[in-house]
Chain A
Amino acid sequence: MAFFADPTVSLSNKLLEIVYIIIGLITIYAGVKNLLDKKNPARFGTFVFWTSFGIVCSLGRWLPSRVSGALIIIMVIPAIFKRVQKGESNAPTKEYTQKQFARIGMKIFLPALTMGILALTFALFTQISALVGVALGVLISMIVLMCYSRDNKPVTFLKDSERLLSTMGPLCMLPQLLGALGGIFTAAGVGDIIGAIVSGIVPEGNVIAGIIVFAIGMALFTAIMGNAFGAITVMTIGVGAPCVLAYGADPVIIGMVALTCGFCGTLLTPMAANFNIVPVALLNMKERFGVIRNQAPVALIMLAVQIVYMIIFS
């Protein structure tokens, strides 16, 4: 409580902390719901996963770092052993969604766009974090949905979020885990070592060469790994920071556009099976690389465009 009363902590940070507490409660609900769900084949593992995350998320500010670290280790163990599963689903039937559409119609786009609009409003016009804007948008969206239909009770939202969370499974924690891994790399001095190696290859002080290596490296690493999120952490620490940012290039443009250079790699690789191979099966296509072949020209042009953009504007 002292935290929320402390006048030196900004309103934005206080509100953000409340948002994290709510997120933690949502996942703890998911954990408890699955523990009690007899249809879940791995009730205990699922419970451990979502509940440990919920505790770290809601209490992270107050827990000693070592305790949070230990809870994360406890969290990933059931995930590694595939003991995080989904239980009974409350997915709506096609008849139901069609009935709701007949009643609500195009008005449904309003609550769908609320979160993005609020995030922008907060980012542009207030000193408060855009994420608090997203949270307020979620709240407004929920109220609008409750006004649209009496079927939408508070518990409906909670159950629907649990269904989606369980469908996504532990992989939805990937960005946050990769972010933490990046922190460990930095703490262990990995960036400095790669920087030393790469500076032997890229001529020192040549930002243009650095940008080209960074952009193509992102696309290549992503293509090999099948995941741009994994590549961005490693490549930014290893190449982006020592070869480009160290010479004063704009971190906003370099950091962000490097991610979409990585996406060009995603568009080119069968490793990103979810996007490039699964659709081939879903659409009954004959050619295994039919989707990639259609993406390749656009991906290659965009990679070149982005390199030029980074060179000119950073």
Chain B
Amino acid sequence: MEYLRLIGILIVIIGFALKLDSILIIFLAAVTTALVGGLGIDGLLETLGTNFVSNRSMAIFILILLVTGTLERNGLREAAAAFIHKFKNVTVGKLLCIYGAMRAFFGAFNVNFGGVAGFVRPVIMPMAEGAAENENGTVDEEYLEEIKGMAAAMENIAWFFFQVLFVGGSGALLVQSTLSGLGYEVSLIDLAKAEIPVALTALVIACIYFTLKDKRLRAKYLGKGSAAGKKAGKGGK
């Protein structure tokens, strides 16, 4: 009957996979594990209380929210858009690399520009479409579909791997608390340092992959030499 204690893990995996309410899943897993594991109601409240309180460091994001909204109110997103608009006449591949690097750098400082909805769609896509126009001033639909996929992918990859570099981010705090529960004490700054080579590699690989892919797409949909012609034609804009 030892294995019955694993029911909590089963609840977590199945619950998330079935897209049940996340908090309900955690609540059920906690209560069942405590009861099956012999902690009882008292033990449940005691363990829950102790662990939640010792994990309060993860609430630091709430303090950061004090400025996040007000930064937005004072034109942070507009400033980011103005910055990336400085890069005119670049190919789609280059634009994505520039955006990836920018997203990564600011992500490491826990600064957000609004993700796909707030930044990629309103700022990056119009720039990318401009760069992908053929001689007739239109963008091939299949090319456009690929550009959208690549832009959203770059957004996710840069954000995922670089958000963990922020000292005080939820990911590293959760790792720190999980390890601490197992008897291993680690510091946040060491966790961030361990991740630096991984994050940089991810960005470089993404940039290489999307640059090569765009080069192939450009040759297919814009033909050879049209990029140069387009640049000359758009120079006055």
Contact call B160/A263, Cβ cutoff below 8 A:
yes
Closest partner residue, chain A, to B24 (CB atom): A80
Among B61, B110, B148, B161, the residue within 8 A (CB) of A260 is B161
Q: Which residues of B contact A42 (CB under 8 A)?
A: none
B200 to chain A, nearest CB (A): 11
How many interface contacts (CB-CB < 8 Å) are there between A and B?
450
Q: Does B132 lie at the interface of the complex (its beta carbon under 8 Å from any beta carbon of A)?
A: no
| Given contact pairs A120-B167, A293-B149, A108 touches B48 in the complex (Cβ within 8 A) | no
| Given contact pairs A98-B75, A108-B75, A259-B164, A26 touches B63 in the complex (Cβ within 8 A) | yes
Closest partner residue, chain A, to B15 (CB atom): A225
Contact call B51/A184, Cβ cutoff below 8 A:
yes
Contact call B13/A236, Cβ cutoff below 8 A:
no
Contact call B8/A138, Cβ cutoff below 8 A:
no
Q: Which residues of A contact B195 (CB under 8 A)?
A: 256-257, 260
Q: Does B232 lie at the interface of the complex (its beta carbon under 8 Å from any beta carbon of A)?
A: no
B41 to chain A, nearest CB (A): 10
Q: Which residues of A contact B177 (CB under 8 A)?
A: 179, 182
Interface of A, secondary structure class, is helix
Contact call A309/B62, Cβ cutoff below 8 A:
no
- CB-defined interface of A200-236 with B at 8 Å, one 1/0 digit per residue? 0000000000000000000001001111111011101
Among B9, B125, B190, the residue within 8 A (CB) of A194 is B9
Q: Which residues of B contact A70 (CB under 8 A)?
A: 45, 49
Contact call A141/B67, Cβ cutoff below 8 A:
yes
- Number of B residues with CB within 8 Å of any CB on chain A: 122
- CB-defined interface of B6-44 with A at 8 Å, one 1/0 digit per residue? 101100110011010111101101100110111100111
Q: Which residues of A contact B201 (CB under 8 A)?
A: 302, 305
- Considering residues B77, B125, B156, which has the most beta carbons from chain A within 10 angstroms of its beta carbon? B156
A274 to chain B, nearest CB (A): 9
Q: Which residues of A contact B166 (CB under 8 A)?
A: 116, 119
Closest partner residue, chain B, to A229 (CB atom): B174
Q: Which residues of A contact B2 (CB under 8 A)?
A: 193
Q: Does B186 lie at the interface of the complex (its beta carbon under 8 Å from any beta carbon of A)?
A: yes
Among B6, B63, B67, B171, the residue within 8 A (CB) of A22 is B63
Question: Which residues of chain B in 171-221 are interfacial with respect to chain A, using CB atoms and an 8 Å cutoff?
Answer: 171-179, 181-182, 184, 186-191, 194-195, 197-199, 201-202, 205-206, 209-210
State A173–B170 Cα separation when bound (angstroms): 10
Closest partner residue, chain A, to B81 (CB atom): A101
Q: Does B228 lie at the interface of the complex (its beta carbon under 8 Å from any beta carbon of A)?
A: no
A193 to chain B, nearest CB (A): 6
Closest partner residue, chain A, to B186 (CB atom): A252
Contact call A194/B145, Cβ cutoff below 8 A:
no
State A117–B116 Cα separation when bound (angstroms): 26
B214 to chain A, nearest CB (A): 11
- Considering residues B55, B120, B190, which has the most beta carbons from chain A within 10 angstroms of its beta carbon? B55
Q: Does A48 lie at the interface of the complex (its beta carbon under 8 Å from any beta carbon of B)?
A: no
6 smallest CB-CB distances across A and B, nearest first, come from A188-B37, A160-B69, A101-B75, A183-B51, A69-B45, A69-B49
Q: 13 other contacts beyond A71-B49, A283-B125, with CB at 8 A cut-off?
A: A53-B59, A69-B44, A69-B49, A69-B50, A96-B73, A97-B78, A134-B60, A174-B22, A178-B26, A278-B116, A283-B121, A294-B149, A294-B153
Seen from chain A, the residues whose Cβ lies within 8 Å of a Cβ on chain B are 16, 19-20, 22-23, 26-27, 53, 56-57, 60-61, 63-73, 76, 79-80, 82, 92, 96-98, 100-102, 104-106, 108-109, 111-113, 115-117, 119-120, 123-124, 130-131, 133-135, 138, 141-142, 145, 148-149, 152, 156-158, 160-161, 163-165, 170-191, 193-194, 221, 224-230, 232-234, 236-238, 241, 245, 251-253, 255-260, 263, 266-267, 271, 275-276, 278-280, 282-287, 290-291, 293-295, 297-299, 301-302, 305-306, 309
Task: Sample 21 A-B pairs with CB under 8 A, ordered by A number.
Answer: A68-B49, A69-B52, A80-B24, A115-B168, A116-B111, A134-B60, A145-B70, A145-B71, A161-B68, A177-B26, A179-B173, A184-B33, A187-B43, A190-B33, A234-B9, A245-B182, A256-B172, A271-B17, A283-B148, A291-B156, A302-B205
Seen from chain B, the residues whose Cβ lies within 8 Å of a Cβ on chain A are 2-3, 5-6, 8-9, 12-13, 16-17, 19, 21-24, 26-27, 29-30, 33-34, 36-39, 42-79, 82-83, 106, 108-111, 116-117, 120-121, 125, 145-146, 148-153, 155-157, 160-161, 164, 166-168, 170-179, 181-182, 184, 186-191, 194-195, 197-199, 201-202, 205-206, 209-210
